[in-house]
């Protein structure tokens, strides 16, 4: 189904791009050991935010990105400066929205026709009374059976499309949150990883065994 394809394309493109920006956090060049007394610092209580905007501004960037995408789909991607993802968000929403509208329209049409056919009122006009496959005079009441079948079919896919829409909205929030996390990482040129040979002492003996070790260097 095309609505599934649109959803999968959005997820694939977004997360492939996000994982491409993943980086490594490195510690600073120096570290200082302090005593327990010195390590304890006074905590300052922040004043209460004056408004909602100030309160949101105190959140972490991933939390802000997720909130913005929850309120307006695509806004979290704009906050992350991933502007190229915004058309994907709205294209996915447009495809799913179209199928919700189309299936609901057809469901309402067949449901109304079925109610008219079964109301027993000769003054109401049956719009499908002479339509091929739905005519009232078909053997075994097949026309009415087909009306009911098509009504149920479009109701089922309308409900499924609504679920897909909610899922797409949730994925839009999750993608903005994850992308903001990945962008918070920092790459340092002072980071190096070396593979070195070493000798490991054998326990209980004066002998050594050869081995390899990975050494992470921070310059």
pTM: 0.64
Q: Which stretches of the chain are DSSP H helices?
A: 2-20, 36-39, 52-57, 61-71, 75-79, 85-118, 142-183
* List of residues 6+ apart from 55 with CB closer than 8 A: 49
Give me the average pLDDT of each 10-residue run along the chain (219 residues): 58 53 45 47 66 80 94 95 95 97 97 90 84 83 92 97 97 95 70 73 78 70
Beta-ladder partners of 209? 200
pLDDT score for 137 = 75
| Short-list 6, 186, 178, CA closest to 82 | 178
């Amino acid at each position: 189904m095309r609505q599934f394809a649109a959803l999968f394309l959005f997820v694939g493109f977004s997360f492939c791009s996000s994982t491409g920006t993943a980086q490594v956090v490195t510690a600073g060049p120096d570290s200082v050991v302090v005593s327990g007394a010195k390590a304890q610092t006074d905590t300052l209580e922040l004043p209460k935010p004056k408004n909602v905007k100030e309160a949101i501004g105190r959140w972490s960037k991933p939390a802000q990105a997720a909130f913005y995408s929850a309120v307006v789909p695509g806004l979290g991607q704009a906050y992350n400066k991933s502007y190229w993802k915004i058309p994907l968000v709205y294209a996915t929403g447009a495809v799913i929205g179209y199928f919700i509208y189309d299936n609901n329209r057809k469901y309402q049409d067949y449901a109304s026709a079925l109610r008219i056919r079964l109301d027993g009122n000769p003054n109401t006009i049956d719009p499908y009374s002479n339509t091929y496959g739905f005519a009232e005079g078909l053997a075994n009441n097949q026309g009415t059976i087909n009306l009911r079948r098509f009504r149920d079919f479009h109701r089922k896919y309308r409900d499924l499309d609504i679920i897909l829409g909610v899922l797409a909205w949730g994925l839009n929030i999750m993608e903005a949150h994850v992308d903001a996390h990945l962008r918070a990482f920092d790459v340092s040129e002072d980071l190096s990883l070396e593979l070195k040979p070493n000798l490991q002492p054998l326990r209980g003996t004066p002998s050594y065994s050869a081995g390899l070790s990975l050494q992470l260097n921070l310059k």
